[in-house]
A and B are shown apart, each in its own frame.
Chain A
Amino acid sequence: MSAPAQPLVSIRDVTRTFTRGSENVHVLTGIELLVNDGEFLALMGPSGSGKSTLLNLIGGLDRPTAGSVAIGEERVDKLSDRQLAAWRARHIGFVFQFYNLLPALNAERNVELPLLLTGLNKAARRRHVAAAFEAVGLTHRAKHFPRTLSGGEQQRVGIARAIVTDPTLLLCDEPTGDLDRKSGDEILSLLQSLNREHGKTIIMVTHDPHASARASRTVYLDKGQLSTTPTT
């Protein structure tokens, strides 16, 4: 009998409140979430439900107002800005809805960016970049600039950039939100393959049931509360 999977992500009683003028807006309230290593979790909910805020907390882009966020052994909410930046570089791969590729760099250079923070030499960086392009099936477009790539291709480059450092966790914020159905399906298949064949832990924010169907588990967020069933 195999040992139970250890939670990679532990979110305990997390609250996130924003202050707008004199008003406090409670975006997340008492969130409890565990994500196991190797899981592909879909985080669903309507617009403004706090999905991206929760993803930002997990990725160390934001801090909770209360509660704790731990990734593995690391209490992310306790890290300084400088420590957080270094931690993100080591452990997190981000995939954005609008790809967020740097327009002045070609695809290859975009993918190489996170490797500049690893201390690898140029030859090693080239090898890693080549492997990432191969994984996303875009080797033939590596020298192209983002403006010459289709949306689907740009998202593949975005995924290659996210996996090039072999991060602990992939965080995808509406990765198919800007794509047509066919391209979206290809991206979802790619993410599924990264999860199943390479064991990547993935948390994907989406409001598309078609996308969440590819995940191994789906949780729902509405009005700052998490549930395992969709709210009506």
Chain B
Amino acid sequence: MLSLIQLFSVAWYNLRSLPERKAAALTAAVGIAGVVGVLVGVLAIAEGFRRTMTVSGSPEVAVVLRSGSDGEMTSGLERDATRTIGDAPGVARNGAGPLSSAELFVIINLPKRSTGTDANVPLRGVEQGAFDVRGNIKMEAGRRFATGRNEVIVGAGAARSFAGLEIGKSIKVGQNDWQVVGIFTADGGLAESEIWTDTAVLQPAYHRNNSFQSVYVRLTSASAFPQFKDTLTTDPKLNVKVMRLSDFYEEQSNAVTKFITTIGVFIASLMGLGALFGALNTMYSAVAGRSREIATLRALGFGAGPVVFSVLVESVLLSILGGGLGAAAAYLLFDGYRASTINWQSFSQVTFAFQVPPLLLAKAIAGATLIGLLGGLFPALRAARQPIAAGLRES
């Protein structure tokens, strides 16, 4: 009990004396706020990108590509194969037949609203079944494209990021003009970065005859996937790769997510090192400036432990304060901020919103706390080892 009283009374005194050292304390806190702000900001990009890529990946939807392809761009499937896939066991059906959509995926150039420079935008040819297969496509404005006509509908993210995609306007694809007739949402998922049209109209425009790049199917249930997959991968007439849509999106987002995360952690680590030295410097200064006070407390009978504890408490609290400020600033600045970047797997732009989830904030503040602990530890040990008699003579 007495030890606890010692611990907390010295720590309490130390914190009360903080205003006398406010300039150095604020410098350390602001340094740590910067680290946390940058770390959260960069990881919010990765988190937002990952979320956009995976949010609409229902486990009840499967995607079929040519075996060996690492994305739709490098895949190719003939009409016969797409029919076999649609008729496979495990595929859900409605009155019109199997819930499947054979799709074509091409890239077109459109100017970004933000810079005016051209960027790769995915144009997806889909069959009418695509809406039921995805299950989350909702028309935000306008209507769906009509089959057999040069009409497109635009994902809400693409409409925000690229110029000329307002309803009623036309975009030039190949030799033809395609009219924008609707804007759709997909629960914030990847499809919102795309432009959709009738695959039967897109094929001749790109001289694809009767070939496709992927088939999307809705399964009767998530548990039907193994049977569906086994049927297709053991069919000697087919040479396909079958994935759950959720896994496919995860795989598609991995490279970019890892890259952004690596860059973010690298930058934050460098800044963190700087903040660590800042915290060390601040706490060494604090200890040096309080040598006589610390020696006085020890002369009165307070032990070395409470002195170490008090320095650590100050350092950690400053770090939590800085971390909290940085996290709050990052949340206010970045959460929901919309941007687009290229997805290397599809070589096309993905529009997404930065995401700052609570777990990311908690991790960043935990990192700041670690900086505080490390930054306070050595000065605390120095304070505890300082000879009392020498400390009492300090001015």
A interface residues with partner B (beta carbon < 8 Å): 52-53, 56, 59, 61-62, 81-82, 85-90, 94, 96, 98, 100, 102-105, 113-114, 116-117, 119, 161
B338 to chain A, nearest CB (A): 48
A119 partner residues in chain B, CB cutoff 8 A:
1-2
Tell me the complex Cα distance, A20–B84, Å: 91
CB-based contact A116/B6 at 8 Å: yes
Report which of A89, A100, A104 forms a contact with B13, defined as CB distance below 8 A: A104
CB-based contact B301/A100 at 8 Å: no
Per-position binary interface string of chain B over residues 280-298, scored 1 when its CB falls under 8 Å from any chain A CB and 0 otherwise:
0000000000001100111
Report which of A53, A88, A102, A104 forms a contact with B301, defined as CB distance below 8 A: A88
A56 partner residues in chain B, CB cutoff 8 A:
388-389
Q: Known A96-B392, A116-B9, A117-B6; judge A59-B299 contact (CB<8 A).
A: yes
CB-based contact B17/A103 at 8 Å: yes
CB-based contact B296/A102 at 8 Å: yes
Q: Which residue of B lies closest to A90 (CB)?
A: B301
Q: Which residue of A lies closest to B290 (CB)?
A: A102
Residues of B in contact (CB 8 Å), total 26
Enumerate 20 A-B pairs (CB-CB under 8 Å) in ascending A order. A52-B389, A61-B299, A62-B389, A81-B303, A81-B304, A85-B303, A86-B301, A94-B299, A96-B392, A100-B292, A100-B293, A100-B392, A103-B20, A104-B17, A105-B13, A113-B300, A116-B5, A116-B6, A117-B6, A117-B302
A94 partner residues in chain B, CB cutoff 8 A:
299-300
A114 partner residues in chain B, CB cutoff 8 A:
300-301
B297 partner residues in chain A, CB cutoff 8 A:
102, 113
Q: Known A119-B1, A119-B2; judge A82-B303 contact (CB<8 A).
A: yes
* 7 further contact pairs, Cβ within 8 A, besides A85-B304, A100-B392, A117-B301: A62-B387, A85-B298, A100-B292, A100-B293, A100-B296, A102-B296, A116-B5
Q: Known A100-B296, A104-B13, A104-B17; judge A89-B392 contact (CB<8 A).
A: no
Which of chain B's residues 129-163 have a Cβ closer than 8 Å to chain A? none
Q: Which residue of B lies closest to A93 (CB)?
A: B300
Tell me the complex Cα distance, A117–B4, Å: 10
A206 to chain B, nearest CB (A): 17
B16 in contact (CB, < 8 A): yes
| CB-based A-B contact count at 8 angstroms | 72
Q: Which residue of A lies closest to B9 (CB)?
A: A116
B298 partner residues in chain A, CB cutoff 8 A:
85
CB-based contact A85/B302 at 8 Å: yes
Tell me the complex Cα distance, A89–B389, Å: 16
Tell me the complex Cα distance, A104–B18, Å: 9
Give 5 closest A-B pairs by Cβ, nearest first.
Answer: A89-B301, A104-B17, A104-B16, A100-B296, A56-B389
CB-based contact A88/B20 at 8 Å: no
Which of chain B's residues 288-322 have a Cβ closer than 8 Å to chain A? 292-293, 296-304
CB-based contact A102/B293 at 8 Å: yes
Tell me the complex Cα distance, A87–B16, Å: 27
A113 partner residues in chain B, CB cutoff 8 A:
9, 297, 300
A128 to chain B, nearest CB (A): 14
B306 to chain A, nearest CB (A): 10
Tell me the complex Cα distance, A82–B6, Å: 13
B387 partner residues in chain A, CB cutoff 8 A:
62
A104 partner residues in chain B, CB cutoff 8 A:
13, 16-17, 19-20
Tell me the complex Cα distance, A89–B298, Å: 9
A161 partner residues in chain B, CB cutoff 8 A:
300
CB-based contact A102/B303 at 8 Å: no
A89 partner residues in chain B, CB cutoff 8 A:
300-302
A105 partner residues in chain B, CB cutoff 8 A:
13, 16
Tell me the complex Cα distance, A94–B395, Å: 17
Q: Which residue of B lies closest to A117 (CB)?
A: B301
CB-based contact A61/B301 at 8 Å: no
A215 to chain B, nearest CB (A): 22
Tell me the complex Cα distance, A15–B5, Å: 37
Tell me the complex Cα distance, A187–B67, Å: 96
A88 partner residues in chain B, CB cutoff 8 A:
299-301
Q: Known A102-B13, A105-B13; judge A117-B300 contact (CB<8 A).
A: yes
Tell me the complex Cα distance, A81–B384, Å: 11
A81 partner residues in chain B, CB cutoff 8 A:
303-304
Q: Which residue of B lies closest to A89 (CB)?
A: B301
CB-based contact B2/A117 at 8 Å: yes
Tell me the complex Cα distance, A62–B387, Å: 8
Tell me the complex Cα distance, A114–B301, Å: 7
Tell me the complex Cα distance, A98–B395, Å: 9
B310 to chain A, nearest CB (A): 12
B389 partner residues in chain A, CB cutoff 8 A:
52-53, 56, 61-62
Per-position binary interface string of chain B over residues 7-36, scored 1 when its CB falls under 8 Å from any chain A CB and 0 otherwise:
001000100110110000000000000000
Q: Known A88-B301, A104-B13; judge A61-B388 contact (CB<8 A).
A: yes
B13 partner residues in chain A, CB cutoff 8 A:
102, 104-105
A90 to chain B, nearest CB (A): 8
Tell me the complex Cα distance, A96–B292, Å: 11
A59 partner residues in chain B, CB cutoff 8 A:
299
Q: Which residue of A lies closest to B303 (CB)?
A: A85
Tell me the complex Cα distance, A64–B115, Å: 77
A132 to chain B, nearest CB (A): 14
A61 partner residues in chain B, CB cutoff 8 A:
299, 388-389, 392
Which of chain B's residues 371-395 have a Cβ closer than 8 Å to chain A? 387-389, 392, 395
B6 partner residues in chain A, CB cutoff 8 A:
116-117
B5 partner residues in chain A, CB cutoff 8 A:
116-117
A85 partner residues in chain B, CB cutoff 8 A:
298, 301-304
